[in-house]
DNA sequence: TTGTGTTTTATTGCCTCC
DNA sequence: GGAGGCAATAAAACACAA
């Protein structure tokens, strides 16, 4: 036990503590022990408002036992907690008087109530994060599938084109002169020409591993609005990240912001730490 | 009735603030 | 250094299935 604070132990000296100042400190000494004999048959804590309790029930209880607060007391404490979850000394004494409790009990109740609220809040935050994660995962999966689909499309079109080139007149050499040779490698050139020659799909070589430059360049062959199936999920995911990175916070900061907005209780005091 | 899990009340020790 | 907050914990009270 720390020297600065003396605690009232209801199992040993209930109803016999000396209430000092704001009710946080209790004295347990010789005098307390003497008076304990006189009052050991009384109920702990509840001597100020006897009418709140079922006399018979409580009189039958052993005085050493811990007693629960009555529904009325809990109700009033809950109402007070909703108003303000922190307890300034004046409010604490008022509540204690009103409820027939020791100020220390009121303080303890608020402390425990804050702890319960925090636990619930952590559960809510966890659920929110989990659902966000699940939806991101679903998004990712759909993007991967779309990617695979596009790759196979590119492969089949390339195959068709090569078969067609094998039987056609060699006209490609004429087009080469029209292209900016210094900016296009031979590999890129081949893919580009093939794409432009193809008539089936307007855009398919986007994810060709042999020609990543085409994808990365600002001048994409494939404007976003032509490939909603592929681009939109990415846009959606990135917009989340962008929002989060604006102020240097992670994606999850948004979640917590949303969580805070969802609070049913007026608890602006809660600070995520 | 009893064993077991959960909730509530209270204590303890540490930390921060003034 | 005291007051008060929080985390961890103990222990009583309670709920409930078997």
Reported as a single tens digit per residue, the pLDDT across A194-211 is 333 333 333 333 333 333
Find the nucleotide nearest A108 (Cα to C1′). B10
Task: Verify if strand B has an atom below 7 Å from the CB of A8.
Answer: yes
Name all protein residues with C-beta less than 7 A from any atom of nucleic acid chain C.
Answer: A 3-5, 11, 21-22, 24-25, 61-62, 65-68, 86-87, 89, 107, 110-111, 114-115, 118
Q: What pLDDT score does A64 carry?
A: 56
- Report the CATH fold assignment for A71-163: Arc Repressor Mutant, subunit A (1.10.10)
Residues 60-89 of A with CB under 7 A from strand B: 66-69, 74
- What's the CA A10/C1' B12 distance, rounded, in angstroms? 15
CA–CA dist A112, A123 (Å, integer): 17
For tokens 């108003």, the residue is A83
d(CA A186, CA A176): 10
What are the backbone angles phi and psi of residue A34, rounded to the nearest 5°? -65, -50
Say how far A112 CA is from C9 C1', in Å.
Answer: 13
A233 touches strand B (CB under 7 A): no
Nearest nucleotide to A109, CA against C1' atoms:
B9
Closest nucleotide (CA of A62 to C1')? C12
> A73-121 pLDDT, tens per residue?
999 999 999 999 999 999 999 999 999 999 999 999 999 999 999 999 9
Tokens of A184: 């296009």
Q: Is the CB of A43 under 7 A from strand B?
A: no
**Closest protein residue to B8 (Cα–C1'):** A68
Taking alpha carbons only, the member of A66, A64, A70 closest to residue A49 is A70
- Chain centroid to Cα A10, Å, comes to 39
Question: A73 is written with which tokens?
Answer: 């007391």
Beta-carbon contacts of residue A99 (< 8 Å; ≥ 6 apart):
A49, A52, A69, A73, A76, A77, A106
d(CA A9, CA A159): 86
Which two tokens mark A103? 């100020």
CB within 8 Å of A146: residues ≥ 6 apart: A229, A230, A233
Where exactly are the structural domains of chain A? 71-163
Of A219, A206, A191, A220, the closest CA to residue A153 belongs to A206
Nucleotide nearest to A11 (CA to C1'): B10
β-bridge mates for residue A18, sequence order? A27
pLDDT at A170: 59
Q: Tell the residue number behind the tokens 């702990």, with chain if given.
A: A44
* Residue ranges in chain A whose pLDDT is less than 50: 1-62, 172-273
Half-sphere exposure of A141 (CA within 13 A, CB side): 6
Q: What pLDDT was estimated at residue A102?
A: 93
Phi-psi region of A204 (alpha: psi -120 to 50; beta: other; left: phi over 0): alpha
pLDDT of residue A167: 83
């Amino acid at each position: 036990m720390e020297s600065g604070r003396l605690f009232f132990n209801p199992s040993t000296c209930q109803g016999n503590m000396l209430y000092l100042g704001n009710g946080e400190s209790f004295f347990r000494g010789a005098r307390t022990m003497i008076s304990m004999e006189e009052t050991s048959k009384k109920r702990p804590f509840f001597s100020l408002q006897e009418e709140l309790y079922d006399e018979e029930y409580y009189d039958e209880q052993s005085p050493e036992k811990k007693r629960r607060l009555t529904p009325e007391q809990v109700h009033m404490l809950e109402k007070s907690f909703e108003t303000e979850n922190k307890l300034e000394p004046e409010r604490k004494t008022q509540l204690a008087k009103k409820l027939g409790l020791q100020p220390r009990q009121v303080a303890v109740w608020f402390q425990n109530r804050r702890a319960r609220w925090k636990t619930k809040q952590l559960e809510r935050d966890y659920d929110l994060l989990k659902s966000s994660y699940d939806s991101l995962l679903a998004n990712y999966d759909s993007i991967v599938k779309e990617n695979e689909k596009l790759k196979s499309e590119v492969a089949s079109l390339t195959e068709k084109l090569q078969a067609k080139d094998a039987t056609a007149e060699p006209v490609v050499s004429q087009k080469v002169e029209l292209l900016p040779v210094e900016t296009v490698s031979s590999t890129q050139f081949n893919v580009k020409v093939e794409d432009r020659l193809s008539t089936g799909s307007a855009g398919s070589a986007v994810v060709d591993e042999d020609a990543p430059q085409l994808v990365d360049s600002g001048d994409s062959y494939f404007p976003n609005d032509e490939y909603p199936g592929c681009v939109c999920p990415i846009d959606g995911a990135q917009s989340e990240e962008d929002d989060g990175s604006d102020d240097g916070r992670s994606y999850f900061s948004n979640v917590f912001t949303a969580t805070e907005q969802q609070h049913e209780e007026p608890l602006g005091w809660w600070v995520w730490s």
